[in-house]
Amino acid sequence: MKINQISVFLENRTGQLAEITHLLADNGVDMRAISIAETADYGILRLLVDDTERAEGILRENGNILTLTPVTIVGVPDEPAALSKLLSVLADNGVDIVYMYSLFTHPGGKAYMVFRVADKDKLSDVLDANGISKATKEEIGLK
Amino acid sequence: MANYYQPEIETASPEQIRAWQDERLVAQVKHVWDNVPYYRAKMEEKGVTPDDIKSCADLHKLPFLTKDDLREAYPYGLMGKPLSECVRIQSTSGTTGKRVVAFYTQKDIDLWEDCCARAIMAVGGTKDDVCHVSYGYGLFTGGPGLNGGSHKVGCLTLPMSSGNTDRQLQFMCDLGSTIICCTPSYAEYLAESIEERGLKDQIKLKAGIFGAEAWSENMRHDIEEKLGIKAYDIYGLTEISGPGVSFECEDQTGMHINEDHFIAEIINPETGEVLPEGEKGELVFSCITKEAFPLLRYRTKDICVLTREKCSCGRTFVKMSKPMGRSDDMLIVKGVNVFPSQIEQVLLEQGYPANYQIVVDRVNHSDTLEVMVEMTPENFSDNLGQITEMEKSLVAALKAMLGIYAKVKLVAPKTIARSEGKAVRIIDKRKI
């Protein structure tokens, strides 16, 4: 039940992002989440899509440099303090978050957070111990 | 009103200069044959012995030396004196990471400093001047050479070295510097800083000696106007001694080569054939007075023209034009020699593809060096921190190799321009 994020190298050039989204759109790939980390000269585009394997193939064929990164997704109620509570649990248990972003769809009325952490097993243990469930692929509409 | 350091030499008749050259060349070839096995082997290979060299007319019979030879013979293979006789080492970067080290006896240093003293006096320097040396001191020959020359002239010498513009300007104003020695791009930068701070009326400069990088007549006029000085060119290379191999006089129409120490030839870089004076080609030097590092027929890779016309300054030494280019791919960035092969070596060592592009520009009168490197799947990560760490270590490795900062720019694969399958490695945007 591994959920993979696609990370794509982006040159800092006008239109580069549009090229990638066009490519995915033309091939009927649906996006679930998108996040960008950038420096002055380049960036990393992080994507969650409905069909990871297909998107990976298309992007590679078109000369993009990418890597698949396992991420953990947690759904929280869409209400004040919900995320704060979750993050407190992680902080109290010493989970080191490398980065985090959210799905732009809200299946079941929940907000879903995508976590990339230094130690994935530790995160899993902490969530289990605190009765917090990880989102499944079905739950968020991934193939 | 000409000003000479050694008038009897600098204004000697062409016949006298030729006589010195003939005599010194013959002696130097013997010295090298007896003391430098590396060059003796090259001579033997060509079937030449010291008996074949009776005057400058026989110079063309001798084998060439190149930077490759310096690398092969590194560090001691081209020495003409035992280490115990040497008192100094200077160094510059080489083609593939190995540095060029040059050795000097006390006599070598003396003669080198004489050359620099001639250059300082040629721009009007006297013992009443305050000579502000902003070339780097250390392994680089710029600082030590002009420092020594300035002492010989008797100037009050300010060994500023490079950098720290605030301090440079403070000393320049407080101590009344009258001659400035630095790279032409730094002179432009100083001029601008002086303007910005409104210090122009506190500056007493009258002349500048600028070298170690390419500059144009436009830059000369610009510097002269902004600083209110006369700007003079100086040329040299560590292999041959350092700055002062040739220098400009008040005529400002080329640099007089110190022919009592160095014999200059112009060759066709393709065939090695000697070209008549006045033709454009690669400059080759033979050192006829140096003891510790007596290079003969060293190919500088600088393309220029020699002219032997009567000069208004009264000097009789042949004049060389500003170098018009290189017969190899060496770049001079911030006065430092940079070879693309050095950058390539660092990239390979650091796990990057050898597909790169070097972009050189001049921003605010200072050279910039940017290395564009294509990202590879192996080097890519979803973690920005990891990529920036890699970038930092690449920058550090380049700095260690080149001695100057190079900005690294990571680009997407296949974005580095290729022409007819061959990558364009160097883009020099400097307008000088």
Out of B327, B356, B385, a domain closes at B327
pLDDT at A50 over 70: yes
**Beta pairing class for B156-159 and B179-182:** unpaired
State the residue for tokens 């759109």.
A25
Q: Do B317 and B373 share a domain, yes or no? A: no
At B341 the three-state DSSP class reads helix
Enumerate the residues of chain B whose CB falls inside 8 A of the CB of residue A67: 377, 380-382
Digits of tens for pLDDT over chain B (432 positions)? 579 999 999 999 999 999 999 999 999 999 999 999 999 999 999 999 999 999 999 999 999 999 999 989 999 999 999 999 999 999 986 555 668 899 999 999 999 999 999 999 999 999 999 999 999 999 999 999 999 999 999 999 999 999 899 999 999 999 999 999 999 888 988 998 999 999 999 999 999 999 988 888 888 998 999 999 999 999 999 999 999 999 999 999 999 999 999 999 999 999 999 999 999 999 999 999 999 999 999 999 999 999 998 999 999 999 999 998 888 888 889 888 888 888 888 988 888 877 789 999 998 888 999 999 988 888 899 999 999 999 999 999 999 988 899 999 998 877 776 544 455 788 899 876
Closest CA to A56 of A67, A43, A45, A70: A67
Question: Which CATH topology does A71-129 take?
Answer: Alpha-Beta Plaits (3.30.70)
Write down the pLDDT at residue B271: 96
Asked if residue B113 lies in contact with residue B261, where contact means CB atoms within 8 angstroms, the answer is no
Task: Determine whether the interchain pair A9/B409 forms a contact, defined as Cβ–Cβ distance below 8 Å.
Answer: no
The CATH number given to whatever domain includes residue B374 is 3.30.300.30
Enumerate the residues of chain A whose CB falls inside 8 A of the CB of residue B357: none
Enumerate the residues of chain B whose CB falls inside 8 A of the CB of residue A16: 412
Q: How far is A51 from chain B (nearest CA, A)?
A: 19
| Two structure tokens written together for B296 | 């003969």
Peptide bond into B75 cis (omega under 30): yes
Q: Is A82 on the interface with B (CB under 8 A)?
A: no
Q: Do B299 and B376 share a domain, yes or no? A: no
Q: Which of B382, B414, B415 sits opposite A7 (nearest CB)?
A: B382
Q: Provide the H-helix boundaries in B123-183.
A: 142-153, 165-174
Out of B327, B345, B377, a domain closes at B327
Optimal mutation site among A8, A10, A11, interface B, most CBs of chain B within 10 A: A11
Q: Which domain holds residue B375?
A: 333-428
Write down the pLDDT at residue B97: 60
Out of B305, B327, B349, a domain closes at B327
**Residue B411: closest CA among chain A residues belongs to which residue?**
A11
Asked if residue A122 lies in contact with residue A112, where contact means CB atoms within 8 angstroms, the answer is no
Write down the pLDDT at residue B335: 82
The residue that leads in pLDDT, A1 or B381, is B381
Write down the pLDDT at residue B420: 47
Optimal mutation site among A13, A44, A48, A65, interface B, most CBs of chain B within 10 A: A65
Mean pLDDT of A59-79: 93
Q: Is B384 on the interface with A (CB under 8 A)?
A: yes
B229/B238 Cα distance (integer angstroms):
28
Residue B38 domain flag: yes
Task: Determine whether the interchain pair B387/A44 forms a contact, defined as Cβ–Cβ distance below 8 Å.
Answer: yes
Residue B1 domain flag: no
Helices (H) and strands (E) in chain B, counts: 11, 22
| Two structure tokens written together for B234 | 């100086």
Q: Do B188 and B279 share a domain, yes or no? A: yes
Q: How far is A64 from chain B (nearest CA, A)?
A: 7
Burial class of residue B155 in the structure, from the number of CB atoms within 10 Å of its CB (0-12 exposed, 13-18 middle, 19+ buried): buried
Domain positions in chain A are 3-69, 71-129
Q: Is B274 on the interface with A (CB under 8 A)?
A: no
**CATH code for the domain defined by A3-69:** 3.30.2130.10
Directed axis angle between helix B184-196 and helix B165-174, to 10°? Answer: 70
B118/B392 Cα distance (integer angstroms):
45
Q: Do B229 and B273 share a domain, yes or no? A: yes
Q: Do B178 and B196 share a domain, yes or no? A: yes
pLDDT at A57 over 90: yes
Identity at B319, one-letter amino acid code: K
Number of structural domains in chain B: 2
Whether the predicted interface score ipTM is above 0.90 = no
pLDDT at A106 over 70: yes
Q: Which of A16, A37, A42 sits opposite B410 (nearest CB)?
A: A42
Write down the pLDDT at residue B108: 98
Directed axis angle between helix B384-402 and helix B340-349, to 10°? Answer: 140
**Residue B382: closest CA among chain A residues belongs to which residue?**
A7
Q: How far is B418 from chain A (nearest CA, A)?
A: 16
Total count of residues recorded for chain B: 432
B120/B117 Cα distance (integer angstroms):
5
Q: Which of A44, A63, A66 sits opposite B384 (nearest CB)?
A: A44
Distances in Å between the Cα of B187 and the Cα atoms of B86, B168, B332, B425 are 34, 11, 16, 29
Q: Do B322 and B337 share a domain, yes or no? A: no
For chain A positions 16-75, those within 8 Å of chain B (CB to CB) are 16, 37-39, 41-42, 44, 46, 63-67, 69
Closest CA to A116 of B211, B208, B141, B383: B383
Q: How far is A128 from chain B (nearest CA, A)?
A: 26
The CATH number given to whatever domain includes residue B272 is 3.40.50.12780
Q: Is B417 on the interface with A (CB under 8 A)?
A: no
Task: Determine whether the interchain pair B413/A63 forms a contact, defined as Cβ–Cβ distance below 8 Å.
Answer: yes
Q: Do B200 and B302 share a domain, yes or no? A: yes
Q: Is B351 on the interface with A (CB under 8 A)?
A: no
State the residue for tokens 């044959």.
B33
Asked if residue B90 lies in contact with residue B114, where contact means CB atoms within 8 angstroms, the answer is no
Q: Do B342 and B322 share a domain, yes or no? A: no
Task: Determine whether the interchain pair B382/A39 forms a contact, defined as Cβ–Cβ distance below 8 Å.
Answer: no
Helices (H) and strands (E) in chain A, counts: 4, 6
Write down the pLDDT at residue B293: 98
Residue B27 domain flag: yes
How far is C-alpha B46 from the chain's CA centre?
A: 30
Work out the widest C-alpha separation in chain A, in whole angstroms. Answer: 46
Q: Which of A11, A37, A65 sits opposite B384 (nearest CB)?
A: A37
Write down the pLDDT at residue B417: 65
**Residue A7: closest CA among chain B residues belongs to which residue?**
B382
Optimal mutation site among B382, B389, B416, interface A, most CBs of chain A within 10 A: B382
Contacts of B121 (CB under 8 A, 6+ apart): B3, B4, B5, B153
Residue B384 domain flag: yes
